[in-house]
Chain A
Amino acid sequence: MDRSLNLLDEALGLDNGDSNPSETRLLLLIEDCVETSAYFVLHHLIKRSLSPHSSALVVFVAFAQPFSHYDRILRKMGCNLVVQRDNKRFLFLDMLTLECPGEPQMEMVKKLAKVDFLICMEKSRKLWRLEPGASLVMIDDISLMEVAANGSSNHVLDFLHYCQTLTTEFGCSLVFLNHKDIYSSMERPTLILQMEYLAEVIIRAEPLATGLAADVHGQLTVMNKGICDGPRTLQTKMCNFHFRIKENCVEYFYPGSRT
């Protein structure tokens, strides 16, 4: 594996997939902003989960982009989503075009409650039983889900809570993306605060304080509150590093470690 990729994996507490997968269970919140998008972290995690070494399943709940968008990017990174979808390892739920049979006018809230659990739990149940801890549920992204749920952050939180119960029931990981700056002017940004309380690991993507540089595209701050549901009190680990997005990979490095 590319050595430079390890900085993010290390911060997340992931390794090369040799160890017990249930120890790499994540409850991960990714926060980005308009200037610095963190989609590349999602792509990285998809690619990691679908790599030939692992047998993980990815359930992707998409509000932001169509399937072809992700397919195009992941193909450049050397991962064919169409093949993975046909192999039933990549479940793509395009929430905006999704229609439930017989109930085309169903509200998004009901759709969320029904569709997610119908598909996530039934279709992947057998697989999850076989591969505990290796699966991944991804939501892209929360702010658009809030829009789809008619602005009701309570429904979004209910949905997230049910996703969280999946992580304890099946030992899978949950990754959700949100845009932090949307909430920056609110006096009490309940939704983003709730998500920060919920998450075990928070990744923040921000521009450099000094503005954008030619060879540094931004910085990531990873706050790891400890392994999800660990019985012992675990210390929070934090790290901060820069990244540079290249054509088909991303470089991570500590500030000042490159000339």
Chain B
Amino acid sequence: MAESICRALRDGALEGEHAPALTIKDSIASPSGPIVFNHVLVQLSSNILALKSQSQGIVLVALSRSPSFYVDLLKSRGIDVDSLHKWLRVLDCYTDPLGWKDRLVECGSITNPSPEASNKVRLCKDVRNLDNLSSSIIEMGKELVGQGKGRFSVAIDSATDMLRHASISSVAALLSSLRSHAQVSCAFWLLHSDLHEVRVTSVLEYLSSMLANVEPMTQSTNGQRGNSENFSLLEQNSKRGKFNVRMKRRNGRVRLMFEEFCIEQSGIKFTPVSSDGGIVTQSLVPKVQFNLQLSEKERIERAKVVLPFEHQGNGKSIEIYDGRRYLTENKTETISNFDEKLQTNEDPGRGEIIYFRDSDDERPDSDEDPDDDLDI
């Protein structure tokens, strides 16, 4: 539930608890994680601007996109950009993450390598040093909200890039120190799960109170990635997908929620899962010339059929029909009786099972032991 995630991030940390944290996880089969990340970022921004949220500002650690991308993103979603400096700080780990450009400036090979750092963007020239990174994040947050009780949110646009430069233990240390910081309201980050070992993804999942998993609608069957045989599958997965959310409550209760999303020109849309995956099951039934399933009308009619003996015991005299026309009865009467019954059957309101024994030679069921003539 995208909405409940955004609400949890908006509400922020509870008294005496660590800040809520969200891991957004995707894979190459459904690479829409960045779009979900952007959606969450925009939602949180508009909550902050509307003063609805606990946090008063966002510190965005930009590793995979340039800071100007995020400014453009917020602008395109109708968020007032003029007031950005009041509630947004960007730690730019994108432009020069390893200090190569800086070194070239020192050598005199190039001049003015990086765009002007403004008061809302700070350049980070060594992402491998996570201690520095962590203290920069905290400093920038304090710039936003001051030293007092104000809180800020932290968004990391790619934990994957961070893990490429540093070990899992140091990244985990950074994230948990952020969560436990008294002035952090919430934190969220994006992870491409197929680039990491299972161990690494589960460490990050343990660190977060919420997990949003972006999964493809249908998995490719032969497991071969990117084969053009799966062309339509690829196309479908790039536009739609499943959105699974796991939320951990304080008391240890875990809530699982499922949604679907589709990507439109205007942004990402979340919809509740269509009832028991009707589309999927229907498409799984092979196309044959005869019906494998009942139509709605047939299903209603089947429900109306009175099963043998079902009517008995509700006041009427109990009859057990063994299929024989009794000699004591008038033959013709019986036959006309059946004719009547057949006619009444045309009344669509009621179904009935009619059974004729094959012949009168058949013995009716009796209490006699059919095997009593056996001599064993």
> Known interface pairs A118-B104, A180-B226. Does A238 touch B231 (Cβ–Cβ under 8 Å)?
yes
A150 within 8 A of B: no
A221 to B227, CA, bound (A): 9
Residue among A122, A125, A165 making CB contact with B96, cutoff 8 Å: A165
B305 within 8 A of A: no
B7 CB contacts on chain A under 8 angstroms: none
Residue among A113, A223, A233, A235 making CB contact with B234, cutoff 8 Å: A223
A169 to B66, CA, bound (A): 9
> Known interface pairs A122-B110, A197-B28. Does A165 touch B94 (Cβ–Cβ under 8 Å)?
yes
B101 CB contacts on chain A under 8 angstroms: 117, 162
Stretch at the interface among A73-81, A85-93, A136-144, A224-232: A224-232
A194 CB contacts on chain B under 8 angstroms: 195
> Known interface pairs A193-B194, A197-B31. Does A168 touch B100 (Cβ–Cβ under 8 Å)?
no
Binding site for B on A (CB under 8 A): 31, 113-114, 117-118, 121-122, 125, 154, 157-158, 161-162, 165, 168-169, 180, 188, 190, 193-194, 196-197, 204, 206, 209, 219, 221, 223, 225, 229, 231-236, 238, 240
B197 CB contacts on chain A under 8 angstroms: 188
17 inter-chain pairs at a CB distance below 8 angstroms, sorted by A residue, are: A117-B100, A118-B110, A158-B97, A165-B66, A168-B66, A194-B195, A196-B28, A197-B192, A209-B229, A219-B228, A229-B65, A231-B72, A231-B75, A233-B38, A233-B265, A233-B267, A235-B263
B53 within 8 A of A: no
Least CB separation from B113: chain A residue: A121
Least CB separation from A198: chain B residue: B64
B282 within 8 A of A: no
A180 CB contacts on chain B under 8 angstroms: 226
Residue among B76, B100, B195 making CB contact with A231, cutoff 8 Å: B76
- Are A221 and B231 within 8 A (Cβ)? yes
- Are B95 and A165 within 8 A (Cβ)? yes
A196 to B234, CA, bound (A): 13
- Are A193 and B192 within 8 A (Cβ)? yes
B228 CB contacts on chain A under 8 angstroms: 204, 206, 209, 219, 221, 240
- Are A229 and B66 within 8 A (Cβ)? yes
- Are A121 and B239 within 8 A (Cβ)? no
The 4 closest A-B pairs by CB, nearest first: A231-B72, A236-B238, A231-B76, A168-B66
B278 within 8 A of A: no
A223 CB contacts on chain B under 8 angstroms: 234, 238
B347 within 8 A of A: no
Binding site for A on B (CB under 8 A): 28, 31, 35, 38, 65-66, 68-69, 72-73, 75-76, 94-98, 100-101, 103-104, 109-110, 113, 115, 164, 192, 194-195, 197, 226-229, 231, 234-235, 238-239, 263-268
A190 to B195, CA, bound (A): 5
A221 to B76, CA, bound (A): 31
Least CB separation from B112: chain A residue: A125
- Are B238 and A225 within 8 A (Cβ)? yes
Known: A193-B192, A233-B268. 14 other contacts (CB 8 A): A31-B226, A113-B103, A121-B113, A161-B97, A165-B66, A169-B115, A188-B197, A190-B195, A193-B194, A206-B228, A231-B69, A231-B76, A236-B263, A238-B238
- Are B110 and A121 within 8 A (Cβ)? yes
- Are A236 and B229 within 8 A (Cβ)? no
- Tell me the smallest distance from the CB of B252 to a CB of chain A, in Å: 32
- Are B234 and A238 within 8 A (Cβ)? yes
- Are A204 and B192 within 8 A (Cβ)? no
Residue among A193, A219, A225, A234 making CB contact with B195, cutoff 8 Å: A193
- Tell me the smallest distance from the CB of A209 to a CB of chain B, in Å: 6
A190 CB contacts on chain B under 8 angstroms: 195
B265 CB contacts on chain A under 8 angstroms: 232-235
Residue among A114, A169, A229 making CB contact with B69, cutoff 8 Å: A229
A118 CB contacts on chain B under 8 angstroms: 104, 109-110
Query: Could you say which of A196, A209, A233, A234 has the most chain B C-beta atoms within 10 Å of its C-beta?
Result: A233
B103 CB contacts on chain A under 8 angstroms: 113
Least CB separation from B235: chain A residue: A238
B109 CB contacts on chain A under 8 angstroms: 117-118, 121-122
A219 to B100, CA, bound (A): 39
Residue among A125, A233, A234 making CB contact with B110, cutoff 8 Å: A125
Least CB separation from B70: chain A residue: A231
A11 to B343, CA, bound (A): 68
A122 to B109, CA, bound (A): 7
> Known interface pairs A209-B229, A223-B234. Does A117 touch B104 (Cβ–Cβ under 8 Å)?
yes
- Tell me the smallest distance from the CB of B308 to a CB of chain A, in Å: 57
B239 CB contacts on chain A under 8 angstroms: 235-236
Query: Could you say which of A121, A122, A158, A161 has the most chain B C-beta atoms within 10 Å of its C-beta?
Result: A161
B35 CB contacts on chain A under 8 angstroms: 233
B235 CB contacts on chain A under 8 angstroms: 236, 238
- Are B96 and A193 within 8 A (Cβ)? no
A121 CB contacts on chain B under 8 angstroms: 104, 109-110, 113
Least CB separation from A125: chain B residue: B110
B66 CB contacts on chain A under 8 angstroms: 165, 168, 229
> Known interface pairs A231-B72, A233-B35. Does A188 touch B194 (Cβ–Cβ under 8 Å)?
yes
